[in-house]
Amino acid sequence: MNEIVAKERNYVITTALAMIAITILLLAFSLWYVNRSVIRPVKKLSETAENYCSENNDVVHHAFEKLQIGSNDEISQLLSSMKKMEADMNTNINTLIDTKVALKESQELAIKDALTGIRNKTAYDHEVKKLEADLADGFNEFGLAMVDLNYLKKTNDTYGHEKGNISIRRLCMLVCEVFEHSPVFRIGGDEFIVVLKNRDYRGVDQLIESFNEHLEQVQNDDTLQPREKISAAIGYYKFD
């Protein structure tokens, strides 16, 4: 009887140990499977979503597109939905970027003179508003120089408007070259305004003299045709 009882006890202990071992193995396998199939994929999706929101929203992203989850369950379907959402968002972002670029280009064109490439009357009106704001803040060290192309009508009537346009561009280049530290605006057909500030404001007399010397050199250049010898009047006034 003692031997039978001992065998039964050993059998029970062995069976119990085997069941415990099997249970532990099943639990370990279940945890491994849940971690591989659920926890890690969900964690990947969560981290990707967090990083996605923290990055620059003005550029396209491919974070979800790069994710690979090898399962055929709801998580895989969720990833597919996230990839589609990301593709749609990238399309919208590209559209917004294109719109922003087009809007910026149109704004630049709105204040750009088509003939000379410098700022136009609209830009000058904006500059006047800035000057008024500066005056309200106590800034008053600025001046205006006005340049007028002479004989434009005669050039147009004699040689044609294209040659007149060339004269306007030649004068514009000279004005921008002499007043290189100041904004230059074309406010009319043959009229330019320079907003004098800082260095150009303090040295305006020397700049006017330099401008007239350039014109004199053009007038005395025998290699130029009469229509190429531009002439202009210039005057300035400092704010009082």
Q: What tens-digit pLDDT sequence spans the chain (240 residues)?
A: 877 777 788 888 888 888 988 889 888 888 777 666 666 766 776 777 776 655 555 666 666 666 666 666 677 777 777 778 777 777 787 777 777 777 776 666 678 998 999 999 999 999 999 999 988 888 888 999 999 999 999 999 999 999 999 999 999 999 999 999 999 999 988 999 999 988 999 999 999 999 999 999 998 988 888 888 899 999 999 988
Amino acid 140: pLDDT: 82
Amino acid 108: pLDDT: 67
Q: Half-sphere exposure of residue 88, counting CA atoms within 13 Å on the CB side?
A: 6
Residues 6+ apart with CB under 8 A from 128: none
Amino acid 53: pLDDT: 59
Amino acid 186: pLDDT: 96
Amino acid 16: pLDDT: 85
Residue 127 · residue 195 · CB < 8 Å: yes
Residue 191 · residue 210 · CB < 8 Å: no
Distance CA 7, CA 15 (A): 12
Q: How many CB atoms are closer than 10 A to CB 41?
A: 21
Amino acid 110: pLDDT: 79
Amino acid 116: pLDDT: 93
Distance CA 167, CA 151 (A): 10
Distance CA 159, CA 10 (A): 122
Q: What structural domains and CATH numbers belong to the chain? A: 2-97 (no CATH), 121-238 (3.30.70.270)
